Amino acid sequence: MYDFTGKTALVTGGSRGIGRAVAVTLARGKAQVAINYAGNQAAAEEARDLCLRAGAAQVRLFPFDVADPAACSGAVDRVVQELGGLHVLVNNAGIALDQLVMRIKDEDWQRQLQVNLTGAFNLVRAATRPMMKQRGGAIVNLTSVVGEMGNAGQAAYAATKAGLIGLTKSVARELASRGIRANAVAPGFIDTDMTAELPEAARQKMQEGIPLARLGKAQEVADCVAWLASDQSSYVTGEVVRVNGGMYM
């Protein structure tokens, strides 16, 4: 359990999966939680209720497209105004439109780039001003094991996640003097709604490439994110922490 009393956290893609687990984990530490989501209102409301039951000081829902720079800037302004600041930014929102590189449609390449990489950039840029003003903050970007090792059929997705690593390290160097830390978490194959839909044979093949011989849990990723967002990791910045069961070392 980490203490986020008096702190506000914005979690993108926070209505389901890893994002929801992160939001609830921060809520257990008494954070004020701002949950971004793309369009699933019911899932977002469920995530809000879970955060409130977990002990969040406040929870607000912020529906907007992270690929829209103006929407990101406006959302950060609202978070600061309504919740009194922004101390933790978790860039979790992402999409995967898998296809072989020779068959990727231009619009699918662009959409993954806009959401996964430009979306994180939009929010980091917007969050920088209030974090600099308060001379402190923690940014955690969710990258992926495929951003480091690549994966057939995921050239676009892997490229965006590799880009997130470069963004994280550059931001960490830029903002360290202002007391702002930036780190990334690189999950491997995690048991979420997306992987639950895979055929059993495909899940088994995935597990064969993981030394710990199982898929990870969203909570295991959330625990790592919470640590990086907390004061317990105050001397950690510019790092990529792998939560992948040994799949890539």
Note every long-range contact of 115-118, with CB atoms under 8 Å and residues 24 or more positions apart, other chains counting.
115/65, 115/66, 115/67, 116/157, 116/160, 116/161, 116/163, 116/164, 117/160, 117/163, 117/164, 117/167, 118/67
Q: Determine contact, residues 55/80, Cβ cutoff 8 Å.
A: no
Residue environment code for 186-200, b if the CB has 16+ CB neighbours within 10 A, otherwise e: bbbbbebeeeeeeee
Q: Which of 37, 157, 235, 248 is catalytic?
A: 157
157 is catalytic: yes
Active site residues: 157
